[in-house]
Structure 1
C-alpha cells in the first residue's frame, strides 16, 4: 500500500474517533482501540489511565454518562512509521481549544488507538500549523 493511502487511512481512523465522541457512540469507540497493545488515555484534567478495561470505562463515562462534547480536530499533522502513526491536532470543543496527540498502531483490520492525550492550550496561546 502506498504512503498516501496509509496516511488517508490514519486520518480516517482519527476522524472516526472524533465522530464517535460527538455522537456518543461507545461501540465504535470500543472498536477503535487496540485489543492487543497496552492502551492509555489522558482526558483533560483527569489523571492518566492505563489498561484497556480502565480506558474503556473512562470512555463510557464520557460518552454514555455525560453529554458527548461537540469536538472537532483541526490542524491535523500525521507522523507515520510502518506500524505506528502519531496524529497531532488542535481540538475545538465549544469555544475552547486543546492540543491532542493520538497514537495509532497498525493491526489486522486497520489502525487502532493506543493512546489519546488532550490538554487545554494555555490562555492566549495560539497553535501554529507546521510548515
Structure 2
C-alpha cells in the first residue's frame, strides 16, 4: 500500500503544512480514514462547518464528515493561506474554493476557514477546523497587507 501524504509526513516528522495538504486531499477523495488520521487523538478537538453546530470529539467529527461524504467527495481547494506558526502550534486561515456540481454545470463558492494544528507525540495533527458560511463570489482581499519575506 503506498503511503498517503499524512503517513509520509508522520514517518519523516512532517509539518502542519503536510497535514493540511493531507486533510484537503482526503476531502477531495472522500476518504474518511485519511481525513480522520489528520486529527489529533484528543477529546477536545472540534469542528464547525458553515452554519452548523460545534462538533466536539473525533466521534462527532467523523459522523459529520461521513454524512457529508454520503453525497460524494468535497471538492475544496485551499488558497490564500495566512499562517501563524510556533514551535508546537500553527494556525492557518485559508480561503476554501468549493466546487459544486449543478444541473447548469460546475459552480464555485468560497468559504473562509481556520485550521489549528498542534505538535503531538504522533507529529503534527489538526485540533480545530472552523469554517464560516460561504459566498458565491471570491472575497476581496484588497485590505490585506502584501506578503513580505524578511
TM over 0.5: yes
How many aligned positions are there? 124
Three-state SS of the structure 1 residue aligned to 2:140 is coil
Q: Report the equivalent of 1:88.
A: 93
CA contact (8 A) 2:110 2:135 kept: no
Q: Structure 1: which 5+ residue stretches go unaligned?
A: 1-5
Q: C-alpha offsets along residues 6-32 of structure 1, whole Å, 9 cap, x if unaligned? A: 9x7211211111110010011111111
The two structures have a TM-score, normalised by structure 2, of 0.74
Q: 1:101 aligns with which of 98, 114, 122?
A: 114
Give the helix-richer structure, 1 or 2: 1
Q: Which residue in the other structure is 1:3 paired with?
A: none
Asked if residue 30 in structure 1 is aligned to residue 36 in structure 2, the reply is yes
Give the aligned partner of residue 74 of structure 1. 79
- Residue 126 of structure 1, aligned match among 130, 134, 140: 140
> 1:53 maps to what in 2?
59
Q: After the TM superposition, which segments of 4 or more aligned residues of structure 1 sit over 2 Å from their partners?
A: 120-125, 127-131
Higher relative contact order (CA 8 A, sep 6+): 1
Give the CA deviation at 1:38. 1.3
